[in-house]
């Protein structure tokens, strides 16, 4: 038997190209006519937000690698694509994706919204009363805070804020001081709304008629340059490198260093230029030169340069018939029937599946801990919490009440750095002990530990989760949380908290596996054990539900397991670098991605273990960063009823034939459809019907 070289580049999908494929799957939701109209608009906005982050972080890093390595070097991943090759392929796919976004907006969504009375009125369609009203609005609300900059030798090209709305204006004539002027820049402050709702009191104007801010500025820009001839006014937006670099080893104060980096990142190197589709080539070339970009970095758009700003329509013009049907998340009976949440947790472990089940018990657990006179201490990790978090409020109240509150705040949670700096300061002012994680490692685990005095002894309670302590995302992301008073589990959590505060080694843990220490090795061992079980004549089956599968050694272990006859089912929402279906390598591996109403976010690992069935929940995806550069936890589920419930949920995901996309060997995904007499089975809708307290399927098919 030939030995297969599992390191061949052809066996790996590039992670950046996989990320663009995920955006394509999300865009399909925006194209799906069975999805409610405002939800389609929201999915379109999500694609834009994803692309922004992709360019700010991933493309910017590739451009740096390409500059350092040159055209022939820079291959970093197992697929062995160089940075230059990858940037070329990204450009082709991203341009295609953006063109499809604007086609969808202009040809389908805008007309469909107009039918529902939600209109975006272009300048050439303004009535005289509307134009007069907008002219007055321009002078009252816009012009007083604009600072137009004419460009000449004394006025160099201004600093342009990352992702801000700007206008390049073509001029002809001389300014007040007698010199000719050809160009000017107008920057739109972020305080200005990007959509302006017209007064419904105007003739032929509905209650949900909107005008783009860009249209208003373009229409009246001549009043900013009196005496000059306006040759044209064109909106543009520059995306900049926003990856923060702070060398933990070299700074004395991480908080201060991050604050400085946050300011600097607003003006990082430009990586993309979005500009109005009708902007003349001369002005486009000028902007590319000013930003140090090439022709391939420009994206001509027929519409607002930042589609994500249309998200406000979802709330401003929202009507329930144009959204997903509402539901009320349930609360497990074990909690609702108990005298208090501590009594419920003492009786048995409680598994919560958000958003189908409410996040309120988790918030109540923290809140009651802060109020209960018998609670002595609360420890918790915070990665993302959201603005005005009730959990942070509870921790502040607990600290002010004199309880021992320790919070591990990860300041380097990408794009939430400023928010986390603010909450860290607030917690410290209240008297909480605040730790900024570990040098060189992001603290990404989700865990809380409460110590309570009961009947003369100390009783510990824990909450462990796959998602953040963020009530907002708990309504939109699928995640699991476990509430437990199990002594062994609580002792492990206690030891991890001691490690995070003291930086000392932990003793061997019985219920947890932890990155960067044991988790990677444990996953490899569990995969290898399935191989050994098959070799001994048993059965082998692995199911993993993840956000991303990237780490090469785990992928090679899965390839070996597939070759040995282990059946492998992977539900990977986003990045997947493993190629399924390669003869002799990955025949027994199936990969699917579910994209629907909720963002799939939970991490669940299942191993058949010759019938002993091991199931784990975790904060970690199977990526290099999660295994080696983050503090993560993975915890076993021991109660048979909870294991059975998790396995049933996994089976539901694996049976989805409506919103599941199957990954093909060439790296593309196909949307699955019911075959023959098969009934449609959208996994998220099934779980809503099973778990939500109040959900009416008659209100419409949830996506």
pLDDT digits (tens, 9 = 90+) for 586-632: 999 999 999 999 999 999 999 999 999 999 999 999 999 999 999 99
78: left (phi > 0), else alpha (psi -120 to 50), else beta?
A: alpha
- Map residue 631 onto helix, strand or coil: strand
Q: Dump strand ranges (E) for 254-349.
A: 270-276, 298-301, 327-328
Q: β-pairing, 229-240 with 166-172? A: antiparallel
pLDDT digits (tens, 9 = 90+) for 402-418: 999 999 998 876 766 77
CA distances to 66, 77, 292, 462, 673 from 82, in Å? 8, 9, 21, 46, 37
> What's the CATH architecture for 514-697?
2-Layer Sandwich (3.30)
Q: Can you tell me the distance from the alpha carbon of 415 to that of 671, in angstroms, rounded to the nearest whole number? A: 32
The residues, ordered by sequence, that sit 6+ positions from 429 with a Cβ below 8 Å of its Cβ are: none
Q: Over 80: is that where the pLDDT of 492 sits?
A: yes
What is residue 331's predicted lDDT score, i.e. its pLDDT? 95
Please give the angle made by the CA atoms of 658, 660 and 662, to the nearest 5 degrees.
Answer: 130
375: left (phi > 0), else alpha (psi -120 to 50), else beta?
A: beta
| Strand-pair partners of 169 | 184, 233
Tell me the pLDDT of the chain averaged across its residues: 92
**Annotated catalytic residue 28:** no
pLDDT digits (tens, 9 = 90+) for 356-406: 999 999 999 999 999 999 999 999 999 988 878 899 999 999 999 999 999
CA distances to 3, 50, 63, 461, 547 from 573, in Å? 32, 14, 26, 31, 5
Q: Can you tell me the distance from the alpha carbon of 442 to that of 416, in angstroms, rounded to the nearest whole number? A: 13
CATH number of 14-322: 3.30.1840.10
Domains 327-508 and 514-697 agree in fold = yes
pLDDT digits (tens, 9 = 90+) for 26-55: 999 999 999 999 999 999 999 999 999 999
Q: Which of 41, 216, 33, 8 is nearest to 121 (CA)?
A: 216
Q: Can you tell me the distance from the alpha carbon of 44 to that of 104, in angstroms, rounded to the nearest whole number? A: 9
Domain boundaries, the chain: 14-322, 327-508, 514-697
Structure tokens of 406?
A: 């320790």
Q: Dump strand ranges (E) for 302-383.
A: 327-328, 350-354, 375-382
What is residue 703's predicted lDDT score, i.e. its pLDDT? 36
Q: Which of 387, 385, 412 is nearest to 265 (CA)?
A: 412
Q: Which of 444, 520, 541, 601 is catalytic?
A: 444
| Strand-pair partners of 463 | 448, 483
Superfamily of domain 327-508 in the CATH hierarchy: Endonuclease Chain A (3.30.870.10)
- Mean pLDDT confidence for 78-104: 96
Cβ atoms 70, 329 nearer than 8 A:
no
Structure tokens of 667?
A: 């790296």
């Amino acid at each position: 038997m030939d030995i297969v070289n599992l390191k061949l580049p052809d066996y790996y999908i590039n992670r950046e190209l996989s990320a663009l494929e995920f955006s394509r799957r999300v865009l399909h939701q925006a194209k799906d006519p069975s999805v409610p109209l405002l939800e389609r608009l929201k999915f379109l906005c999500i694609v834009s937000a994803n692309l922004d982050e992709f360019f700010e972080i991933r493309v910017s890093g590739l451009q740096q690698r390409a500059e350092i390595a040159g055209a022939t070097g820079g291959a970093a991943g197992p697929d062995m694509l160089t940075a230059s090759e990858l940037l070329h392929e990204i450009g082709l796919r991203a341009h295609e994706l953006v063109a499809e976004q604007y086609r969808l907006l202009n040809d389908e969504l805008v007309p469909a919204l107009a039918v529902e009375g939600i209109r975006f009125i272009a300048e050439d369609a303004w009535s005289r009363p509307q134009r007069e009203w907008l002219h007055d609005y321009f002078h009252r609300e816009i012009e007083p805070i604009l600072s137009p900059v004419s460009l000449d030798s004394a006025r160099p090209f201004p600093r342009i804020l990352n992702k801000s709305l700007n206008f390049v204006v073509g001029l002809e004539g001389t300014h007040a001081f007698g010199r000719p002027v050809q160009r000017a820049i107008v920057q739109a402050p972020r305080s200005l709304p990007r959509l302006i709702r017209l007064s419904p009191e105007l003739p032929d104007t509905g209650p949900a008629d909107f005008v783009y801010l860009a249209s208003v500025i373009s229409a009246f820009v001549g009043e900013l340059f009196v005496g000059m001839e306006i040759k044209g006014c064109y909106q543009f937006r520059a995306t900049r490198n926003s990856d923060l670099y702070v060398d933990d080893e070299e700074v004395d104060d991480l908080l201060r260093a991050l604050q400085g980096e946050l300011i600097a990142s607003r003006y990082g190197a430009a990586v993309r230029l979005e500009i109005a589709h009708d902007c003349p080539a001369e002005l486009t070339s000028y902007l590319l030169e000013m930003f140090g970009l090439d022709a391939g970095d420009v994206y001509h758009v027929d519409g607002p340069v930042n589609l994500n700003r249309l998200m406000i329509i979802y709330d401003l013009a929202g009507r329930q018939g144009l959204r997903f049907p509402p539901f009320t998340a349930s609360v497990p009976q074990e909690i609702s029937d108990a005298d208090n949440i501590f009594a419920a947790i003492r009786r048995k472990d409680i598994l919560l599946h958000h958003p189908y089940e409410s996040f309120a018990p988790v918030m109540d657990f923290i809140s009651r801990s802060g109020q209960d006179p018998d609670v002595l201490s609360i420890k918790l990790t915070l990665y993302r919490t959201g603005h005005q978090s009730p959990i942070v409020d509870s921790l502040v109240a607990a600290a002010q009440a004199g309880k021992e509150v320790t919070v591990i705040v990860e300041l380097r949670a990408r794009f939430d750095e400023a928010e986390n700096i603010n909450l860290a300061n607030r917690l410290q002012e209240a008297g909480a002990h605040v730790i900024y994680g570990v040098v060189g490692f992001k603290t990404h685990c989700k865990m809380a530990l409460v110590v309570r005095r009961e009947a003369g002894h100390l009783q510990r309670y824990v909450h462990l989760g796959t998602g953040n302590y963020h009530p907002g995302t708990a309504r939109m992301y699928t995640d699991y949380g476990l509430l437990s008073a199990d002594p062994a589990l609580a002792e492990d959590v206690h030891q991890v908290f001691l490690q995070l505060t003291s930086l000392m080694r932990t003793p061997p843990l019985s219920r947890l596996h932890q990155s960067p220490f044991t988790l990677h090795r444990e996953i490899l061992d569990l995969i290898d054990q399935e191989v050994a079980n098959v070799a001994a004549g048993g059965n082998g089956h692995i199911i993993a539900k993840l956000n991303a599968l990237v780490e090469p050694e785990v992928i090679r272990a899965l390839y070996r397991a597939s070759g040995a006859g282990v059946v492998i089912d992977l539900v990977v929402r986003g990045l997947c670098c493993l190629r399924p279906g390669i003869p002799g390598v990955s025949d027994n591996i199936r990969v699917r991605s579910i994209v629907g109403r909720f963002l799939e976010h939970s991490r669940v690992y299942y191993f058949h273990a010759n019938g002993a069935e091991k199931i784990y929940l975790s904060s970690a995806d199977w990526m290099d960063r999660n295994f080696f550069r983050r503090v993560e936890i993975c915890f076993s589920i021991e109660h048979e009823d909870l294991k059975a419930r998790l396995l049933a949920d996994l089976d539901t995901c694996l049976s989805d034939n409506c919103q599941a996309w199957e990954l093909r060997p060439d790296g593309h995904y196909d949307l699955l459809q019911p075959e023959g007499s098969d009934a449609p089975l959208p996994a998220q809708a099934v779980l809503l019907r099973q778990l939500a307290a109040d959900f009416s399927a008659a209100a419409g098919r949830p996506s």
